[in-house]
Structure 1
Amino acid sequence: MAYAPFLSESQLERVRVFTKPRQVAAGDVLYNPNDDTPPVYVVIEGKIRIISLAGGVEDTVTTYDPGQFSGELLMIAGRRSIYRCQAVEASHLLELSAQNLRTLISKDAELSEIFMRTFLARRLSMVSHGRTNVLILGSRYSAQTLAVREFLTRDGHPFAYVDLDTDSSSQELLDRFGVCSDDVPIVVCNGDQILRNPSTREVAQTLGFNSNIDESQVRDIVIVGAGPAGLAAAVYAASEGLDVLVIERAAPGGQAGSSSRIENYLGFPTGLSGQELANSAIAQSEKFGAKIMVARTVEGLNCDERPYRISLDDGQQIAGRSVVLATGAAYNQPALPNIDRFTGRGIYYNATFMEGQLCSGDPVIVIGGGNSAGQAAVFLAQNTKGVRMLVRSAGLAATMSRYLVRRIEENPLIQVNFDSELVRLSGDDHLEEVSWRDKSTGEVTTRPMRHIFVMTGASPKTEWLAGCLSLDPRGFVLTGTDLDGVLPPRPWPLARRPYMLETSLPGVFAVGDARAGNVKRVAAAVGEGSIVVHMVHQVLADM
């Protein structure tokens, strides 16, 4: 985490207005891992250091000299600290609280760029080097190990990982923490908090991901879902002064976050990964003051009164003057009775670098004929023995961008089986063998196979909205003119008609893949998330 620019004298003077001076002695600890959001420290005289305690071992990450400053993205997000910060020698510091930091970057464009670029670079360095407050001891054959790693990766939280199947020091680590391999994954947080086979929600609670969120506060806008549409709505709403809360059942990124590379997104001619897009959008929304609640599931909408109340999985209710539904859609599973048994053990719904590592050198199957499937096939062909695509239709042209079709056709490592469907999975602790059927001939082919990536058509998860909103026969949310002639569950109470992205309930909007008639492109989702804020303003002005 060496990215540490020096502030000029004029820049220091502008920062000083938002700080308070602090004198510290050598050895003084300024904050520890898991402390509430720590301040940024600007060094005027002396030196401070940042220390990682991952796995209980003290490791100096970096030091800061006069003119430099501490901090990274957690100060913007308002999360708990990851490292220990300690004075190396007697020092004169400027203490910049997280609240004043946000005020500073909102008022000073030059300093905003310096701080944000520095914080982003430091977080990337933390992720790539695994110097953090989280150590995962797990197995590549454990579905829950993969689930925890995926959750932290998509959340952008750095972690160190030890594969107990291959690491020579694994028994020493198990002995040190008093755990056994039956407990995998073992997640060690802040050097001393040990979680045995935790859920992602337990990990989020232990690390305090949502500790800065006041659940009793009535928000201007509550956004359900943190995919591209939800994050775009959060950026624009927060930048325009609205009080924004985003609720995400897993980690931000949505379906786009599972894409290894998106090459047809405006402004990125060389492409970018879905995770890169999500990470930038998260930082951007939090810079403007949006709050993002992760690992929490929305289970109901109380639509009897305003402000509306959204019920969470623990019974807690979140109130909002307006609601934006950006819940996206989930890939449809092949209709096989034992498919859930192999989830994370050979069946995957993401195709990122992490999943790619699990199947390096092996043959893989990708199921689906859309852009997500095409991106996965091209990406996986780089490091696997070969990719076989199973496509239910007779071609790709109608469902996949031409540039992806061309790459698939020209790649000798990718073989496409049209009119084909998966019919059988078998294996013990891990997927070992699969069968598929050629629908045109009825022929069934069986092959040894340990890795299948499911990128099929998607369905909305909108059952919790039944009785409140009008849905189409497939469960997608109807909005705007699509509501014409549809009898809603509740009568429309206003003289005006619903706005373009408004549902059958005033002040409740739907954007992205959950909306009926959506265009399944990342840019379209971002566009809808952006323009819905204009309609939210109109609704709030009428309240």
Structure 2
Amino acid sequence: MGDRTVQPDLTDSQWQRLLAYGVPSDAAEGEVLFRAGDAWADLILVETGLTEVVRDALPWMPETQIATIGPRGFLGEVGLLNGQRPFLTGRVVAPGRIRRIDRPALQRLMAEDDELCDLLLHTLWARREFLRAGPAALSLKIVASSSASAGLALRRYAERLDLVYTWVEADDPGNAELLATHGYRRDDMPVAIIQGEPLSNATPGEVSAALGLAYTNDDETPADLAVVGGGPAGLAAAIYGASEGLRTVLLDSIAPGGQSAATSRIENYLGFPFGVSGDTLTDQASLQALKFGVRVFAPCEAAALEWAADPLALALADGTRVHARAVIVTTGAQYRRLPIDRWDEFEQGGIYHAATPLEIRQVAGDPVVVIGGANSAGQAALALAANGCSVRLVVRGDGLSAAMSSYLVDRITEDPRIRIHTGTRVTGLHGDSSLERVTLSGTTSEAVECRGLFCFIGAEPATDWIRQLDRDDHGFLRTGTDIVRLDPAWGSMRRAPLPFETSLPRVFAAGDVRRGSMKRVAAAVGEGSSAVASVHLALSDLPG
């Protein structure tokens, strides 16, 4: 680990300032500083002596040294910002003196010293990327078929959270002997092997719990702000809340990013003249949230909201309760599905609601169909065509210009790899174990080859879990002066609902879930950050 991006040279001034945040102690030879699977790990500064980081021995492989770190170095990677359990072990090789910086001290450092904050953030992130490409990635192995929805969901979860892992493709004939040796059957998949221990039929929730990313509240102190939903609005709300001094938690039922993470390219987002992919934007926003001390938990599905004078309570699907003085709902919307025979069957492999590199790899070079007439469909069509796919863009309306940005319309109409079918619907799905053809009806009526159906036909607001809030006929949350039905809880209040506040006091909504929102990434970011201003006003009304 000699690369200076992962092992930076600190100036005397930087090192002395860093030491000031740590608690000193002597370290004996062989002492374990942190162990893979520990509940929490500190940032460890090495004043004297020598330390090493190793991947523990696995049943089929001996212990492997990842790095040695000596004086003026430090042990840690980006997972310690969010409380992820270490997946490596650190120990002392030669005795010396160390300093431990625990999470509260690390958060003070990040807030008080911009130079050290930037240096640490760059280094911790670079180390995560370094570890993803080496033997440390064997600490988490996922054995699954990329054509199966459960395997794809687990891989998407790992990618969205930037976990260090190794993917073993069950459909690769070259892995057949390996699977047989370990006794992994198709019925067991996906299998997650965590520190050598296999977990059959693994779900993102089970992997999250094993890695320490499930919700916990160690000191039982209510959060100042709980943000439910990790799309652009939720990430913006969490970042602004935490950066302005609110103890903030972010909960998402899948992983941070929302629908924007499924967008292959956003061309008109402020500050990115060459465009930016949704997953890149999500990665950077997630890291920014961790920088400001947001605790990010996923998958954590909110199942109910219970109002109280202070604090509020969120009940998660697993029965866990999250207490917070204010809540911002940014759950966005759930993908619409077509009422076509065998839709459920092919959603297990062949139907996609995203066109990120993860999905595109499954169909690269094959014929595909994209359904939808808005920007997300247009971006997907261009991305698929750029990866060698023959693309049919199926639009129910008479043209593309009604809901798609003109720059996308121009690029699509000029691309010879994309055929546009307006006034057309997909009415049939065909294939044996995987999707092979779809039936088009309307202006174009024929069965066409299709190895991947990418569906971008909008979404329904994800508000069924909060039916007590005032919603419009389509399920979108009313806020501010738009509210028709106030909850009786307002009877004891001395104010009217604030901007972005719902029909329940101190419960706010932002982004696609809110009635009247613009349904654009930039607008969602603006709403999420603006809602925090109202949170501050609402909390100032509370006693204490």
User: For this structure pair, what is the TM-score category when the shorter chain's length is used for normalisation?
Assistant: over 0.9
2:412 maps to what in 1? 408
Contact persistence 1:251–1:294 (CA under 8 A)? yes
Whether 1:162 aligns to 2:168 is yes
420-429 or 228-237, which deviates more: 420-429
1:93 lines up with 2:94 in the alignment: no
What residue is the counterpart of 1:540 in the other structure? 539
Question: 2:86 and 2:239 mapped to 1: Cα distance?
Answer: 24
Which deviations, in whole Å up to 9, do the C-alpha atoms of 1:324-369 show, x marking residues without a partner? 1100012211122421221140011121111111111211111111
- 2:525 aligned residue: 526
Structure 2 counterpart SS, 1:188: strand
Alpha carbons 1:299, 1:312 under 8 Å: kept: yes
1:382 aligns with 2:386: yes
Q: Note if contact 2:264-2:277 (Cα within 8 Å) is conserved in structure 1.
A: yes
Is it true that 1:78 corresponds to 2:77 in the alignment?
Answer: no
The DSSP-based 3-state class of the residue aligned with 1:323 is strand
Question: Which residue is 2:64 aligned to?
Answer: 59
Which AA in structure 1 matches 2:123? T
Residue number in structure 2 paired with 1:109: 114
1:33 aligns with 2:36: yes
- What corresponds to 1:501 in structure 2? 500
1:477 aligns with 2:477: yes
1:151 corresponds in structure 2 to 157
Residue 43 of structure 1 and its aligned partner are, at CA, apart by 2.7
Give 1:206's aligned residue.
210
Determine the C-alpha separation between the residues in 2 that align with 1:482 and 1:426.
46
Equivalent residue for 1:16, pick from 12, 15, 19: 19
1:339 lines up with 2:343 in the alignment: yes
Give CA-to-partner distance per residue, 1:40-67, whole Å, 9 cap, x none. Answer: 2223334333223596533333332332
Q: Deviations over 1:223-253 (max 9, x none)?
A: 1101111111111111111121221111111
Count of matched residue pairs = 535
Work out the CA distance in 1 between the residues paired with 2:189 and 2:518.
41
1:136 aligns with 2:139: no
Relative distance call for 1:308 and 1:96 in structure 2 (3 A) is closer
Q: Which amino acid aligns with 2:272?
A: F
CA shift at 1:97, angstroms?
A: 2.4
1:504 aligned partner, one-letter code: S
Give distance in 1, aligned partners of 2:130 and 2:263.
22
TM-score (norm 2): 0.93
What residue ranges of structure 1 are gaps of 5+ in the alignment? none
* Counterpart residue number, 1:515: 514
AA of the residue aligned to 2:112: K
Partner of 1:179: 184
Contact 1:163 1:170 in 2 (8 A): no
Partners of 1:368 and 1:391 within 8 A in 2: yes
The 2-side partners of 1:63 and 1:223 are apart by 39
* 8 Å contact kept, 1:50–1:60: yes
Mark the CA change 1:272 to 1:82 in structure 2 (over 3 Å): closer, same or farther. farther
Q: CA deviation at 1:26?
A: 4.8
Residue 124 of structure 1 and its aligned partner are, at CA, apart by 2.8
Equivalent residue in structure 2 for 1:258, among 248, 258, 262? 262
Asked if the contact 1:55–1:135 (Cα under 8 Å) also holds between the matched residues in 2, the reply is no
Using the TM superposition, name which of 208-217 and 504-513 deviates more: 208-217
Change over 3 Å in CA distance of 1:13–1:180 after alignment to 2 = same
Contact 1:130 1:159 in 2 (8 A): no
Q: Per the alignment, do residues 497 and 375 of structure 1 end up closer, same or farther by CA in structure 2, a change over 3 Å counting?
A: same
- Between 14-23 and 379-388, report the one with greater CA deviation: 14-23
Q: 3-state SS of the aligned residue for 1:69?
A: strand
2:2 is equivalent to residue 7 of structure 1: no
- Counterpart amino acid of 1:125? F
* CA–CA distance in structure 2, aligned partners of residues 228 and 348 of structure 1: 21
Letter in 1 for 2:453: I
- Of the candidates 307, 325, 328, which is equivalent to residue 324 of structure 1? 328
What amino acid sits opposite 1:338 in the alignment?
Answer: R
**Pair 1:399–1:215, CA change in 2 (3 A):** farther
Q: Secondary structure at the match of 1:226?
A: coil
> What secondary structure, in the 3-state scheme, does the structure 1 residue paired with 2:124 have?
helix
Task: Provide closer, same or farther for how the CA distance between residues 314 and 164 of structure 1 changes in structure 2, counting only shifts above 3 A.
Answer: closer
Higher mean Cα deviation, 294-303 or 17-26?
17-26
Alpha-carbon distance change, 297 to 7 in structure 1, aligned in 2, over 3 angstroms: same
Long gaps (5+) in structure 2: none
| Aligned-pair CA distance for 1:32 | 2.3
Deviation at 1:153, TM superposition (A): 0.8
Structure 1 partner of 2:462: 461
Identity between Structure 1 and Structure 2 (%): 38
Distance 2:528 2:302 in 1: 19
| In structure 1, distance between residues paired with 2:96 and 2:284 | 34
Paired residues of 1:328 and 1:513 also in contact (CA < 8 A): yes
**In the alignment, is the contact (CA less than 8 A) between 1:55 and 1:134 conserved in 2?**
no
Which amino acid is the alignment partner of residue 459 of structure 2? A
For residues 422-448 of structure 1, the C-alpha deviation after alignment (integer angstroms, 9 at most, x for no partner) is 11112232222211211xx4x531123
Q: CA–CA distance in 2 between the matches of 1:4 and 1:227?
A: 33
What amino acid maps onto 1:292 in structure 2? V
1:418-437 equivalences under 5 Å are 418-437=422-441
Cα distance in structure 2, aligned partners of 1:77 and 1:499 = 31
CA offsets 1:91-111 (integer angstroms, 9 cap, x no match): 443332233222222211111
1:217–1:318: 8 Å Cα contact kept in structure 2?
A: no
Q: Distance in 1 between matches of 2:157 and 2:180?
A: 23
- Whole-Å Cα distance in 2 between the matches of residues 523 and 260 of structure 1? 16
1:121–1:7 Cα change, 3 Å: same
8 Å contact from structure 1 (residues 174, 181) kept in 2 = no
The answer to whether the Cα contact below 8 Å between 1:55 and 1:188 also exists between their aligned partners in 2 is no
CA contact (8 A) 2:149 2:348 kept: yes
Q: Does the CA-based 8 Å contact 2:255-2:298 persist in structure 1?
A: yes
Residues 102-161 of structure 1: CA deviation (Å, up to 9, x unaligned): 222221111111101111222233345573321011112322111100111112212101
**How far apart in 2 are the matches of 1:124 and 1:397?**
41
1:37, 1:98 within 8 Å by CA — same for their partners in 2?
no
SS where residue 289 of structure 2 aligns? helix
Task: Find out whether 1:68 has 2:73 as its counterpart.
Answer: yes
